[in-house]
Chains A and B, each alone.
Chain A
């Protein structure tokens, strides 16, 4: 029987939670991609979404609040052959972890980041997250939110992400398609995943989104991919993505906003100065012989420190 990537744990999210759709889409993606379960590492931060790795039958790392991106980067750096997937909440990735989110765009490590975007901090009972608009009063709040929301798609575009998409967790089939495209993308893929919180966000509900979402690629002329290395093409694709990212209130675009595989991944950049990097991956590289003698000798490497007569 094919590996279905399900664990036998009871999934402890609230009934109706948008996270179920993301979990299903992710499990199906991993199965369809056909790698062995030990070749995937699924990482998460803290919060409701952070339980995700425990429910997936592949290696999982449930990390610290806000720090999931650096943890994921470390896995990929040490073994670039692994497929690395990040699940984080909007608070996790865009508030406490915002610095890491920005830095990840600049690195373009080959991995996929899924933002579980529901506008609230669910696990601490519904405080406002960075994607909740100013003036909104969801039921967990004492008073309307006094902070402006940020736009995850526009932020991702502005800091250099090379694959930026949005999906809606109640459309599992399309979500799976977008996740798979993200995983196949060479570089960092970020997916703003609209994920209603049925318990604390009574505004951005399943129905709210169903009335507004549309797929950008329904229009056959929509082409988010940069295909030529000319600056003009890259600029046009970037500007059309930014413009589309500003749509929200009446019409919420789904699908791929922007994709550029011409930008070298972080691994390729490292391989530029360590040409053995992809063959002699750090996690597998031998360091000593059977007696424990080190394999690397200092004399030539550090010859610039030799005192010569």
Chain B
């Protein structure tokens, strides 16, 4: 059992596991590419529906988590060896370990090592020397980044649910899980930020006593009832009334139309008649944005079969009357087609982005300017066991290490001569 667990741990914490799993998905991607142009979409769908594939993907965050444990344990062991001197040095922790018949007298060494820029500590039969800062914390943060990223992708693939709903001024906020308050106003305005050109704010009244008005913006998306509010398209909620000479009873409809920006068309069929009405927002002559100002003029085309009968403009609250035809738009309200996304993987992916930034900010200066270099000398039984480890500038470090070993070996031969 112990052996099985050890083998399992070795496999899960292996550096080879992540490249293997990524390679597997890459091979799968190539395989799918032979059959369809929508390769990524098919791969995503397959992984989200197939538990085995999801489990294989799950190996990635697990592997990075296990490697964090291994990395942290190695770091702590190396620190312990430097500070207190472990009973037995572990060669696996070091780049190089050598045992030589040498004098256990470390007397001149601290001075020599200090001159080379190393800090030293001597305790009993142990001499430790080090300089620079360890990259282990940066590596830990990087492993945490990878763990969060792949965990986020896995959670997103397996658990993401999206509901698209229109948010309309003057109507209850259509949160998928709770009863939303009234949408008091939708504000669309110029933004002075460096990334967003326009701001969208949906003001939603509180539902209970003491709950104030909530403002839902574009980015970062707000959480409402456990779902992220992700505005996608702008449009208009219209009340239309239409009568024609051969349709005296008239036609009335309240519906949403994704007709932003101005000029974008949407078509409405007049039920029980050959008429179709194509609507678009008219671009104001002063260049203003009708969605921002709220002063909307609708451009319409009235088609019967394939013949264009009429074309004209109707302002919000106004009507168009000609040749027995009448088109009235008593109400036009701002509408935002919004996705309600239940997906906590997003948080992990954002977290991974931040962690990556932290890892790079730590790793780069440390690796360039202060790489960690360590050496450890442990005397006992007429021999000295020496270990060396460098995270950068390894050849320079190896030179110092070899010199120290030469000094120790020289002392031994001096003492044997005397």
A and B: interacting chains = no
B residues with a Cβ closer than 8 A to A are none
Residues of A within 8 A of B (CB): none
